[in-house]
Amino acid sequence: MKYLSIPVLVVLAILSISIGVAHVSLASLWAGDPEAWTIFTTSRIPRLLAICLAGAGLSVAGLIMQQICQNRFAAPDTTGTIDCALLGYVLTLVMFGGASQWLDLSVIVGMAMAGTWLFVHFLQRLKFKNTVLVPLIGIMYGNVVSSLTQFLAYKYDLIQTLQAWTVANFSSVLAGNYEVLFVAIPVCGIAYAYASQFSAASIGESFAKNIGLDYQKVVLFGVMVVALLSSAVVMIVGVIPFLGLIVPNVVSLFMGDNIKRNLPWTAFWGVVLVLSCDILGRVIIFPYEVPIAMIISILGGAVFIYLVMRDKANA
Amino acid sequence: MRDGIKLSLVAMGVVLVAGYFLGHGLTADNYAYFLSRRTPKVLAITLAAVAISASSLVFQTITNNRILTPSILGFDSLYVLLQTVLLVVFGSSSVLLINAYANFTASVVLMTISATVLFTLYFRRHRANIYTLLLIGIVLGSVFGSISQFFTLLVDPSEFAILQDAMFASFNNANRELVYVSVPVLAACLLVLYRLSNQLDVCLLGEDNATSLGIDTRRLTLKVMMVIAVMIALSTALVGPVLFFGLIVVSLARQMFVSYQHRFLIVATSVLAAFLLLSGQYVVEQWFGFETTVSVIINFVGGAYFLYLLTKNKF
């Protein structure tokens, strides 16, 4: 498995780079064709990097969220994080009209953090914790938040902007408009460094306190990590449904629950999944493209239902 | 206050709001045009309200649960998906899409078949956990939505225009062609439910008790499911998917009226639903000046209410 991973990634990356309407072959790059190089550096490479960063970022965000909520079905899209980020996005459009990317990002992160924190706090007070009740409440919470978003969007005539942009699609990624995504690298690094604290928190508040951990601080920290990762992805790419949910679950299905060991693998499989779905979306109706959000949501929905059904406690 | 008095008060409310919709700004010169535009709209809203509320009410009875409605389990999105499939399989020039009557007949037949399949899938396992069921229903609903979206990418934009009515139908441009044909269909559905209402009353005692009192619950469930499928097809065709409306109305009706008899409750929820939808439309038109849609408000209020029900475990 370990030895196969690098070749798999390389093959997928080469496929991703060479597929496209404009013809760019490795041979023409080798020959130094300037046109091929321009396409390569302004479109193909940024797209590949964006895919990797988004796939890894969202999967890691899902893993951390599952640790904080102590629930396997918690992920940015089942805890309202994504919907709050969307609300933040519409707010930035209404207030600043997209003035600067970093200002936008901070508003979106702020909303996502506040929303997620509210949800986590609410979960901690909830006495009755059925495993599937948590995502159910989260999805409903997200629904309520997104109806606020729609209200605003309708009022300011942004429905179309919102619709075009929430459906995740990597085709609009070009050099110069995706760099915010690099935030994912340091944040994932920090998440890795604090992995053991998150896994201690996942056992429960009293246990964490017993071993001298400031539980609330760890949870707040986790919420920040999750909000940052998912906001960056939502802002640049759009909503990729179910990704943060299925990747960590499938990884822990095969590798157990050691988060420190799982985290890099979660990131890796997130990248592989997004890359393959993106490639599939690009070839299925070539020369047109199917947005990746649709492919992942059909696939991810099926996997999610399978995961819920096989959970014996719910049968 | 007695139930009958309450019901007549609500019914008076319906007459008032409907009268306002039809009557305001009417003069001797413009009445022909105004009425020809407004009557179908008011009628469509009323019919949809009746279909949604009656189907939700009996659905809750046969599933023995006060939080499920057909739309929350994804039956609305199933209808939209079926429309898309019809378009993809038969093409836009097919009679099945151009002729409103043929289309409606085809969708009702398909709806009945697939609703029965979905229903047996949901309830195959005896006493499945209610949260699991809800979660699966919600996720399936969003998967259906993604598949329809996926298909719409594959078809021609001009063909897609035909579909748009089914997917984004709203209260402002209710499907006029269908309004008059829906009246007898809905009346037939209500008649069937009315005849079954005594058996449904007994079902409130629980499946086991109902069986020992001599009711063939399987047959009854199947009959009722078919009626529900027709009603969902009807309401979705008329005004589009409204996720939480059935839940709010049935729950409100159960709180307002003392009676448990279906014979009475079917009428009561229908009248209440018509009142709520019509006055909701009034609020949107007058207070918000068309700046939002009724479904946004319903999603916000209904979603918040649903969350409350979930967390209080009150059902």
Alpha helix positions (H), A70-132? 81-96, 101-125
pLDDT of residue B124: 67
Among B150, B154, B284, which would you mutate to test the A interface (most chain A Cβ atoms within 10 Å of its Cβ)?
A: B150
- Smallest CA–CA distance, residue A155 to chain B, in Å, is 5
Give the separation between CA A212 and CA A65, rounded to whole angstroms: 21
Q: What's the predicted TM-score (pTM) here?
A: 0.84
Q: What are the backbone dihedrals phi and psi of residue A131, each rounded to the nearest 5 degrees, phi first? A: -60, -40
- Smallest CA–CA distance, residue A297 to chain B, in Å, is 6
Highest mean pLDDT, choosing among A3-7, A176-180, A235-239: A235-239
Look at residue B315 and tell me whether its pLDDT is greater than 50: no
Give the separation between CA B227 and CA B239, rounded to whole angstroms: 19
Tokens encoding B26 = 């009417």
Q: Chain-wide mean pLDDT for chain A?
A: 86
pLDDT of residue A228: 93
Per-residue pLDDT of A40-54, as tens digits, reads: 888 888 999 999 999
**Distance between start and end Cα atoms, chain A:** 33
- Burial (CB < 10 A; 0-12, 13-18, 19+), residue B28, is exposed
Mean pLDDT of B121-131: 68
Per-residue pLDDT of B241-273, as tens digits, reads: 888 889 889 998 988 888 889 999 999 999 999
Do you find a cis peptide bond into A291, omega within 30 degrees of 0?
A: no
Q: Smallest Cα–Cα separation from A229: which of A135, A136, A105, A122? A: A105
ipTM of the predicted structure? 0.81
Per-residue pLDDT of B130-150, as tens digits, reads: 778 888 888 888 889 888 878
Q: Which residues contact B15 (CB under 8 A, 6 or more apart)?
A: none
Give the separation between CA A160 and CA A153, rounded to whole angstroms: 9
Tokens encoding A63 = 């893993």
Q: Which residue has the higher pLDDT, A24 or A35?
A: A35
Among A118, A134, A141, A144, which would you mutate to test the B interface (most chain B Cβ atoms within 10 Å of its Cβ)?
A: A144
CB contact under 8 A, A301 and B153: no
Q: Which residue has the higher pLDDT, A313 or B211?
A: B211
With an 8 Å Cβ cutoff, is A42 touching chain B?
A: no
Contacts of B125 in chain A (CB under 8 A): 315
pLDDT of residue B128: 62
Per-residue pLDDT of B48-79, as tens digits, reads: 999 999 999 999 998 888 888 888 888 888 88
pLDDT of residue B50: 94
How far, in Å, are A1, A10, A15, A60 from residue A4 at the CA level? 5, 10, 17, 21
Mean pLDDT of A235-256: 89
Look at residue B29 and tell me whether its pLDDT is greater than 80: no
**Which residues of B lie closer than 8 Å to A, measured between beta carbons?**
125, 128-129, 131-132, 134-136, 138-140, 142-143, 146-147, 149-150, 153-154, 243, 291-293, 296-297, 299-300, 303-304, 306-307, 310-311, 313
Mean pLDDT of A6-26: 80
Nearest to B307 among A132, A140, A290 (CB): A140
- Smallest CA–CA distance, residue B261 to chain A, in Å, is 31
